[in-house]
Amino acid sequence: MNIKRVLTVTKKEFIHIRRDKVSMILALIAPIMMLLLFGFAVSTDVNNIRLAVCDQSNTLESRELIKSYENSDYFNIYAVTDNPKKVEEMIDAGEAKAALVIPPDFATALRRGRKESVQILIDGSDPSIARTTSSYAVMISNNYSQELSNVKVINTGTTLSNRLGVEARAMVLYNPTLESSKFNVPGVVGLILQNITVILTAFAMVRERERGTIEQLIMTPVSSLELIIGKLIPYVFIGIYDYTIVLILSYLLFGIAIKGSILLLTLLGIVFLIGALAMGMLISTVAKTQLQAMQAALLVLLPSVLLSGFMFPREAMPKLVYALSTTLPVTHFLIILRGIILKGVGFDYLYKTTAILVAIIIIITTVTVKKFTKKLD
């Protein structure tokens, strides 16, 4: 082996890497991005759970109990009302993950030395959050009961105050058995629809460029918008097929039935499909080679898996990472999927999430069209 020849080939390869600036930037940035994502976003610790409160007692005792939840690091008080239906609607809409329902005779029972129960309504569509929420609620209620007992002992000097206290009774909604498949499978549906369409369309224009047929397309009288639509239509049908077959198999294999409107689920799925295709086409217009397209696609798809709430609870993420996750279309589509499939809610509960999803897709599509026009010019 001739060392000089080896060094010559090595020098030549470094020159190629330097010329391929896109691949070099991706190779240098990807490790940093992955480290930050896994370090900050990947956490199984659940904090800052949005808690809706129904205070039907509206007394000093009930406010002290609410304060106990608020002062903990586990819950954030989202809203306080005296209407039980309101808190259920907040959970249906995904605005709150749990609700504390305090009965009207809460204070009266405590003053008479009886143990009183409060109800904890929990969104069971995410089993990990549901289990943690139930444990936290019981712990906080026990601590509150202990404080009441201590005060009773100090004030009366008796030791019979162990009957005094608050008992938290959890009621899990949508997924009472806390089956993980009911949480994971709808998320997998969204990721499959996104990943397949993004990867396929990411190679669409790159393939034309590498084969040398892009110049022929430019010379034709077809406009840039017509060219984009024409190239995306086949992938629309592929995406619809994948979407349909995955939903059918989810029911046949895992028993995941759609509780809500199938028509609404289909329409919103097509809307999300358009956004995924636009993301893939945007990658295709930026990348010069199929290798660059694959690298860019992975940099888009990896954050979607980690930050969308598919694997890890978004409530545990830092505020900056949480804000970043709201810019991903799949984050909002997973809320829609789980809302319609598991909760059976309608558009009246999902219109805010749908509006955000549509706005993000419009931005991505606009950028794609403008970028693609520059390439053609």
Q: What is the pLDDT, as a whole number, of residue 162?
A: 52
CB 346 within 8 A of CB 227: no
Q: What is the pLDDT, as a whole number, of residue 268?
A: 94
Is residue 138 a part of any domain in this protein? yes
**Residue 204 shares a structural domain with residue 330:** yes
**Residue 78 shares a structural domain with residue 151:** yes
pLDDT in tens, 37-51: 666 666 666 778 899
Is residue 14 a part of any domain in this protein? no
Q: What are phi and psi of 118, to 5 degrees?
A: -120, 150
Is residue 4 a part of any domain in this protein? no
Specify the number of domains making up the chain. 2
Which residue among 173, 197, 225 closes a domain? 173
Q: What is the pLDDT, as a whole number, of residue 377?
A: 47
**Residue 69 shares a structural domain with residue 117:** yes
**Residue 203 shares a structural domain with residue 77:** no
Q: What's 104's domain CATH number? A: 3.40.1710.10
Give the structural domain span for 257: 179-376
Q: Compute CA distances 302 → 30, 159, 192, 319, 356, whole Å.
A: 10, 58, 13, 19, 21
- Unique residue bearing structure tokens 């809460």: 106
Q: What is the pLDDT, as a whole number, of residue 51?
A: 93
Tokens (6 digits) for 65: 């109990």
CA–CA distance, 345 with 32 (Å, rounded to integer): 40
**Residue 183 shares a structural domain with residue 317:** yes
**Sequence letter at residue 176:** P
**Residue 188 shares a structural domain with residue 108:** no
Provide the β-strand partners of residue 51.
77, 98
**Residue ranges of the chain whose pLDDT lies below 50:** 161, 374-377
Q: What is the pLDDT, as a whole number, of residue 331?
A: 92
pLDDT in tens, 213-253: 666 666 767 676 777 778 788 888 888 999 999 999 999 98
Long-range Cβ pairs for the range 18-21 (8 Å, 24+) = 20/289, 20/292
For residue 34, which of 367, 302, 376, 353 has the smallest C-alpha distance?
302
Q: What angle do CA 123, 125, 130 make, to 5 degrees?
A: 50
**Residue 150 shares a structural domain with residue 212:** no
Q: What is the pLDDT, as a whole number, of residue 374?
A: 46
Sheet holding 98-102, edge to edge: 75-81, 49-55, 98-102, 115-123, 165-173
CA–CA distance, 269 with 187 (Å, rounded to integer): 13
